[in-house]
Structure 1
Amino acid sequence: MTIDSPKDDILLRIDTNGAVFISLNRPDKLNTLSEAMLAALQDQLDDIAQDPSVRCVVISAEGRGFCAGHDLQEMRSNPEREYYQALFKRCGKMMQSIVELPVPVIAKVGGIAAAAGCQLVASCDLVIAARSARFAVPGINVGLFCSTPAVALSRSISAKRAFDMLVTGDVIDAETALDWGLISSVVDDVELNDAVAAKVEKILSKSPSAIRYGKSMFNPQRQMSLSDAYDFAGNVMAENMMSHDAGEGIDAFLEKRKPTWEQPTR
């Protein structure tokens, strides 16, 4: 099944073979996270979370930049503490929804990912970036410490490197982002589409249930003590072992044949 969104939508979506491709569509505004964009993203993430047929999500963007962060013009037109608190809470919920999705989320990044755009990158499970991509949390340059982006950033790279980016506003290139662990791979710009397609294809070739077990375990255990993490992971793995796909996969390995995975249904 393929679902295409109208090109004039603020967010574009294509569904195909269990993968959902979402693209930010405010190229004239460098895909800033306006209130409307946050709401559209939240709606899509909520829908995906309830759909067992979805097996992978890709977040990309139209135009020359990935995402320049919050819409500063919109923010300045609403100079009230309550408005800002609600805005950042809404943004934080959306970022957490990405982390909590039961399937892998890949960021496909070209151009600049700044401030909340860098936060969006850091919130995804995998990040494939074009060599020309750039990353920054430059709020400090306009008198604003990027506090909410710092939450995702400091959970993706080391605390000292994250703080350095936050207090200097410096832009880092894709190779540096790869070295620091903010992104998972860098490819030449002309290879970005193929690299993302290959990653999606590889994920779709794996057991759908095993991928969901893995996503449900991976992020929560990172916040636990070592002993609690092993207890939690052991219980998840035991449950996974009871699934059809684990039995089928192990039998196929022993019998030297290709496994037939159980296909998810709506």
Structure 2
Amino acid sequence: MGVSTSCPEDGVCVVTVDFPPVNALPVRGWYDLADAVRSAGRDPGVRCVVLTAEGRGFNAGVDIKELQRDPGNAALIGANRGCSEAFAAVYECEVPVVAAVHGFCLGGGIGLVGNADAIVASDDAVFGLPELDRGALGAATHLARLVPQHLMRALYYTSRTATAAELQAHGSVWRVVEQGELAAASLELAREIAAKDGTLIRLAKAAINGIDPVDVRRSYRFEQGFTFEAGLSGVADRVRDTFGKEPSGAEKSGKEQQS
């Protein structure tokens, strides 16, 4: 359980997340993920990183029960900062990051894949931000990188999910495959990227980030200010207290329950 790293072939590093039962990450998990991705990107022998997960789904966001166990705001502040660091680590990784997504990709999962360079998904993958159902806000910055603006707003306000096929139609998912083919398909893309010159691929990553029209780190931190405001006002606790009692549309489709 936790975050592990492997190098299955030359130039490719695989970072795997495994927090049963649904990969809802605790504060420490977000920091561990950030450290693993940054470390892989700093390795001069690595030219592409694959970010993947074990278990029922890619990522179910923040561990809400960890927030509920904290009588103060330490866990909320930790989750805010941890998510910010993990998302930034993917975006700022010195080499391209391929996200290999299966099952549900929710909340913080959108922050990860929205900052990745490419996404390969299994045909059972669903993507969404059920934040309003969980007493939180955030990651609209990253969802806006996956779907057009008005669809992003509708998905955000309703907490609905979009399928891998729908995201592929919008051009944000590179390839959709059967779940049993996901590992091979993501490695195939990573292998093609890793075949490039290591110095040049790093320059390319820096150049593309440099022309990005949105400062994703600053934009996301702006959103997090409203998450913290919701926490201080008590509305976040009021909404979180109903979590799991009445399944939302996203939970009905993905059956994602936090650990």
Q: Taking structure 1 as the reference length, what is the TM-score of the superposition? A: 0.75
**How many angstroms does 1:39 deviate by?**
2.0
Counterpart for residue 150 of structure 2? 160
Structure-2 change in CA distance of 1:35 and 1:83 (3 Å): closer
The yes-or-no answer on 1:38 pairing with 2:30 is yes
1:75 to 51, 63, 67: 67
**How many angstroms does 1:145 deviate by?**
4.4
User: Does the residue aligned with 2:146 lie in a helix, a strand or coil?
Assistant: coil
Counterpart for residue 100 of structure 1? 92
Counterpart residue identity of residue 180, structure 2: V
The yes-or-no answer on 1:20 pairing with 2:13 is yes
Does 1 or 2 have the higher relative contact order (CA < 8 Å, sep 6+)? 2
The yes-or-no answer on 1:205 pairing with 2:198 is no
Cα distance per residue 1:2-48 (max 9 Å; x no partner): xxxxxxx41121124121111111132x1112112112112212322
**How many angstroms does 1:79 deviate by?**
4.1
Equivalent-residue separation in structure 1 for 2:55 and 2:10 (angstroms)? 26
The answer to whether the Cα contact below 8 Å between 1:10 and 1:25 also exists between their aligned partners in 2 is yes
Equivalent-residue separation in structure 2 for 1:191 and 1:14 (angstroms)? 19
Counterpart for residue 236 of structure 1? none
**How many angstroms does 1:158 deviate by?**
2.1
The answer to whether the Cα contact below 8 Å between 2:25 and 2:62 also exists between their aligned partners in 1 is yes
Equivalent-residue separation in structure 1 for 2:181 and 2:209 (angstroms)? 29
Counterpart for residue 126 of structure 1? 118
1:169 to 159, 167, 182: 159
Counterpart for residue 241 of structure 2? none
RMSD of aligned alpha carbons = 1.8
Q: How many residue pairs get matched?
A: 213
- Structure 2, unaligned runs of 5 or more: 215-259
The answer to whether the Cα contact below 8 Å between 2:3 and 2:36 also exists between their aligned partners in 1 is no
Counterpart for residue 216 of structure 1? 206
**How many angstroms does 1:82 deviate by?**
5.0
**How many angstroms does 1:116 deviate by?**
0.9
User: Does the residue aligned with 2:57 lie in a helix, a strand or coil?
Assistant: coil
2:44 to 39, 45, 52: 52
Cα distance per residue 1:194-249 (max 9 Å; x no partner): 2112112211222222211110010220228xxxxxxxxxxxxxxxxxxxxxxxxx
**How many angstroms does 1:153 deviate by?**
1.5
User: Does the residue aligned with 2:77 lie in a helix, a strand or coil?
Assistant: helix
The answer to whether the Cα contact below 8 Å between 1:27 and 1:65 also exists between their aligned partners in 2 is no
**How many angstroms does 1:49 deviate by?**
3.5
Counterpart residue identity of residue 62, structure 2: H
- Structure 1, unaligned runs of 5 or more: 1-8, 225-266
What pairs with 1:107-122 in structure 2 (closer than 5 Å)? 107-122=99-114
The answer to whether the Cα contact below 8 Å between 2:12 and 2:191 also exists between their aligned partners in 1 is no
User: Does the residue aligned with 1:27 lie in a helix, a strand or coil?
Assistant: coil
Equivalent-residue separation in structure 1 for 2:86 and 2:166 (angstroms)? 27
Equivalent-residue separation in structure 2 for 1:116 and 1:84 (angstroms)? 14
Equivalent-residue separation in structure 1 for 2:131 and 2:109 (angstroms)? 12
Equivalent-residue separation in structure 2 for 1:35 and 1:21 (angstroms)? 21
The answer to whether the Cα contact below 8 Å between 1:13 and 1:21 also exists between their aligned partners in 2 is yes
Counterpart for residue 140 of structure 2? 150
**How many angstroms does 1:177 deviate by?**
1.6
User: Does the residue aligned with 2:6 lie in a helix, a strand or coil?
Assistant: strand
**Structure 1 stretches (4+) deviating beyond 4 angstroms?**
none
The answer to whether the Cα contact below 8 Å between 1:66 and 1:110 also exists between their aligned partners in 2 is yes
Cα distance per residue 1:164-207 (max 9 Å; x no partner): 11100012111112123442221122322221121122112222
